[in-house]
């Protein structure tokens, strides 16, 4: 589907129905009101940088931001009824102490690179692709020794799941 065709998908909503979803899809028909939650700018490292005034070097502590993010997640998990989904957008980090990889999106294609021993990974779009790349997600396994990441095409992930090598990394020693 081209970007132009995909853009038209949002103009196909009629009678509380969006014909962009297959007939058996649970999200195809309007089921009534719902809510979602949007969070923004956890910006790990900014609190210390702001408090010290050292915006270039002062973001090496993330404790307060981690606490606030955990507090948000715990509060959302207690809600009843549950939100349909949660969106986190904006600046995720301010500074990168000890970082080995940065994962991002919004480029609508898969890109990998390295900058000063830092992996920079841009995951493709789940939705509208602006290139010939397949719709993918990034699976990231974090162990005490390393971070391993791999692009998975959505159809392949659905059919086969996560590969044995990545699953083996998650087994406790």
Q: What is the pLDDT along the chain (173 residues), one digit of tens a residue?
A: 444 455 565 566 677 666 666 666 666 677 777 888 888 888 888 888 888 888 777 677 888 988 998 999 999 999 888 888 888 877 777 765 576 777 776 666 667 777 777 777 777 777 777 777 777 777 878 777 777 877 788 888 888 888 777 788 877 65
Greatest extent of the chain over all pairs of C-alpha atoms, in Å? 56
Strand 101-104 to 118-122 pairing: parallel
CA gap 145, 147 in Å, rounded: 7
Pair of tokens at residue 156: 């392949």
- Burial class of 162 by CB neighbour count within 10 A (0 to 12, 13 to 18, 19+): middle
| Residue ranges covered by each domain of the chain | 99-173
* pTM of the full structure: 0.49
């Amino acid at each position: 589907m081209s970007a132009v065709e995909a853009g038209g998908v949002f103009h196909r909503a009629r009678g509380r129905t969006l014909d962009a979803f297959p007939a058996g899809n649970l999200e195809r028909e309007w089921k009534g009101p719902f809510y979602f939650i949007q969070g923004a700018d956890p910006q790990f490292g900014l609190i210390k940088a702001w408090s010290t005034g050292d915006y270039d070097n002062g973001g090496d502590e993330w404790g307060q931001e981690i606490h606030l993010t955990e507090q948000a997640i715990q509060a959302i998990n207690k809600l009843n009824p549950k939100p349909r989904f949660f969106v986190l957008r904006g600046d995720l980090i301010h500074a990168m102490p000890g970082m080995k990889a940065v994962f991002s999106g919004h480029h609508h294609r898969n890109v990998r690179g390295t900058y000063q021993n830092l992996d920079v990974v841009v995951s493709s779009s789940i939705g509208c692709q602006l290139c010939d790349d397949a719709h993918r997600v990034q699976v990231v396994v974090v162990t005490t020794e390393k971070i391993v990441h791999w692009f998975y095409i959505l159809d392949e992930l659905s059919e086969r799941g996560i590969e044995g090598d990545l699953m083996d990394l998650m087994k406790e020693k």
